[in-house]
Amino acid sequence: MSDRMPRHLISIDDLDRTGIERILDRAESFAEVSGREIKKVPALRGRTVVNLFYEASTRTSSSFELAAKRLSADVVSIRSAGSSVDKGESLKDTIHTLSAYDPAAIVIRSPHAGAAQLVAGWTPAAVINAGDGKHEHPTQALLDVFTLRRELGGALDGIRIWIVGDVLHSRVARSNILAFTRMGAKVTVCGPPTLIPREIEALGCEATASLDGLEEAKVVYVLRMQNERMKESFVPSLREYAERYQVNAGRLRPGQLLMHPGPVNRGVELSADAIDSPQALIGQQVKAGVAVRMAVLYELLVGSPMLAAVA
């Protein structure tokens, strides 16, 4: 086990394999807490966690909030709408203001790449990236690895994972390519050539424009397809996209696992029969969110092995 956690979690690059495993192992113990009648441990009692969301979010913001509360932290959640952010306050000024409350951690979601990293330079708090532009979403990647590790009953070494859809605009894709390959899986990204970034192979994956060959995948990870991409001429129509890239029961072979970061566009990137099939792990992913984010908060803020018994 790596004996040191990074101070912040900005990118999957902040973690080596042992660091990831340490967080996942911790998440296993917190998953047990989530099964109790009183879902609370005192680990962060008296400490403050600020959730700062500059973008709409349901599952990420609610699971971070729950995670901090189940660790007994005081939680302040701020959304850009209606806050001083909405009145034109700069990110730097907002962070200085919030830092005056002496938070132990700031969780930030921003539409802009690098926002979390900037925040880390402006506050003494630990900073957790809850999604920055199209750059990274490390806690999503961690909960996906957690879900898969549970489902596979062990390591990801050697398994093939296909990530299908709009890779160009996806922070989930970037963090997941890094996390999956770091855990020993082989990743292929697949999507319309207009939505696969040039030189994405530099991240350590393969790229293809066709679903032919999908049967080799043990895991099919489908990305959300946003309607606005049609207007920007990345794909001519949802119909054509669905025809070529929709993952449905007919395209899934038995034994394959299906994942999606949510929210799903039913009938676009996934068919209803695929979503509702027992091969789909979408519900497990959501459930893992709380335990994994508890583990991230715990490891960054407490982390010392001596206190491990707390959970």
Q: Which residues bind another protein (CB under 8 A)?
A: 90-92, 110, 112-115, 117-118, 132-136, 169-171, 174, 197-200, 202-203
Measured CA to CA, the distance from residue 311 to residue 152 in angstroms comes to 25
| Nearest-approach distance from CB 159 to another protein, in angstroms | 23
Cβ at position 264, least distance to another protein in Å: 21
Q: Which is nearer to another protein, 168 or 296 (CB)?
A: 168
Distance CA 34, CA 103 (A): 24
Q: Where are the alpha helices (DSSP H) in 43-170?
A: 59-70, 91-99, 115-122, 138-152
Residue with Cβ nearer another protein (201 or 216): 201
Q: 154: alpha, beta or left, given left = phi > 0 and alpha = psi -120 to 50?
A: left
Say if residues 76 and 50 touch (Cβ distance below 8 Å): yes
CB-wise, 134 or 260, nearer to another protein? 134
- Packing angle of the helix pair 17-33, 138-152 (nearest 10 deg): 70
- Nearest approach, Cβ of residue 174 and another protein (Å): 6
State the Cα–Cα distance between residues 78 and 80, nearest whole angstrom: 7
Is residue 64 within 8 Å of residue 130, measured between CB atoms?
Answer: yes
Q: Quick one: 78 or 280, whose CB is closer to another protein?
A: 78
Looking at this protein, which amino acid is placed at residue 142?
Answer: L
Choose between 85 and 258: whose C-beta lies nearer to another protein.
85
Q: How far is the CB of 147 from another protein (least distance, A)?
A: 23
Helices 59-70 and 138-152, packing angle to 10 deg = 80
**Cα–Cα distance between 39 and 58 in angstroms, integer?**
21
Closest distance between another protein and the C-beta of residue 284, in Å? Answer: 26
Q: How far is the CB of 77 from another protein (least distance, A)?
A: 21
- Please tell me the distance from the alpha carbon of residue 63 to that of residue 203, in angstroms, as a whole number: 28
Of 137 and 149, the one with the shorter C-beta distance to another protein is: 137
202 vs 306 by CB, closer to another protein: 202
Q: What are the CA-CA distances from residue 97 to residues 65, 85, 90, 94 (Å)?
A: 20, 11, 11, 5
- For the CB of residue 138, give the shortest distance to another protein in the complex, in Å: 13
